[in-house]
Structure 1
Amino acid sequence: MPEIPLVPVHWRFPAHPTSVRRARHAVAESLPQVLRPHLGDDLGLLTSELVTNALRHGACREDEELIELILWPADGHYWLAVSDPGTGKPELARPDTNSESGRGLILVDSLATAWTVRPRPTRGTSVIAGLPFRQGG
């Protein structure tokens, strides 16, 4: 009989700056205790960067848009999808040393084993990134 996978964890947060902290906390708390020392910091940073990008580039507070997160384990990774209602496609930038922003996806690229941007079936964009973990901790 095949192993039944875990049900992905799903959250919705308002398009508001306080959602970055709330999302990071929710993701950290959903990790199994044994994986928190191995994945907690990197997954927290990944969450912060992706939610911040979604807020800056994909959602509009005036419209009370939502940022959605889905976290699930599969194939030796924890996968995080952060979705927003925007239609833009995030791309890796190469900011100069004087730039005050533009480094979020550079961090994502260095932390994640793999990441991609996908359009959502109905409306919006998702950025999906995976961090490896060892089975059993």
Structure 2
Amino acid sequence: MTWHDTTPRLYARQEFADVSLRTPSAARRFVAEQLDHWHVPGPVSADAEQITGELVANAAEHASGGHVQVALHHQEHVLTVMVTDEGSPTTTPRIGLPDTESESGRGLFLVAVLANNWDWYRRAHGTVVWAELALHHADHQRSEHP
């Protein structure tokens, strides 16, 4: 007997070339429109939009190339946001705790607070940072500490 996974899966991605200061906003719009189409609950969608904006802003700042991809993977209980960039092989995504006067450095800290889980891995031509959000309201509890 063969077991077949019948969990519904939805996948969407958007490529952003020539990354600029406007790219995080465009990426957030892509996520908002896609999650609205998938009927993802508002609180989860808002967190996914924020996470996307932070990850794309980081990619724009730290990537060596001008290309970023945002991908969304919707399963029955989990939404995964993935941002792929052409990052430097020597740059490692890490959580920073900037002082209150800093204008930057909070991106991954916010991702860690908003997401149920997050991590990163290196690919041959870049870095992928991903974050998972629970899709059921009762399961969508933010991390208490990053």
What is the aligned partner in structure 2 of residue 41 from structure 1? 46
Structure 2 contact 8–76 (Cα < 8 Å) conserved: no
What is the aligned partner in structure 2 of residue 70 from structure 1? 71
Distance 2:62 2:102 in 1: 17
CA deviation string 1:97-137 (max 9, x = no partner) = 222211111100100000001001x21101000111129xx
Structure 1 contact 59–67 (Cα < 8 Å) conserved: no
Give the 3-state SS of the residue equivalent to 1:2 in structure 2: coil
Among residues 99, 104, 112, which one is paired with 1:109 in the alignment?
A: 112
Distance 1:71 1:126 in 2: 13
What is the aligned partner in structure 1 of residue 12 from structure 2? 9
Sequence identity (%): 32
Q: What's the TM-score, normalizing by structure 1?
A: 0.85
CA deviation string 1:20-64 (max 9, x = no partner) = 11110111111145324232211111111000000001144xxxx
What is the aligned partner in structure 2 of residue 84 from structure 1? 85
Give the residue type in structure 2 aligned to 1:50: L
Give the residue type in structure 2 aligned to 1:79: T
Gaps of 5+ in 1: none
Q: What's the TM-score, normalizing by structure 2?
A: 0.80
Give the residue type in structure 2 aligned to 1:91: R
CA deviation string 1:4-25 (max 9, x = no partner) = 6424211100212211111101
Judging changes above 3 Å, is the alpha-carbon distance between structure 1 residues 84 and 117 closer, same or farther for their aligned structure 2 residues? same
Distance 1:131 1:59 in 2: 28
RMSD: 1.8
Distance 1:7 1:59 in 2: 30
Q: Which runs of 4+ in 1 moved over 6 A?
A: none
Distance 1:112 1:4 in 2: 22
Distance 1:10 1:102 in 2: 26
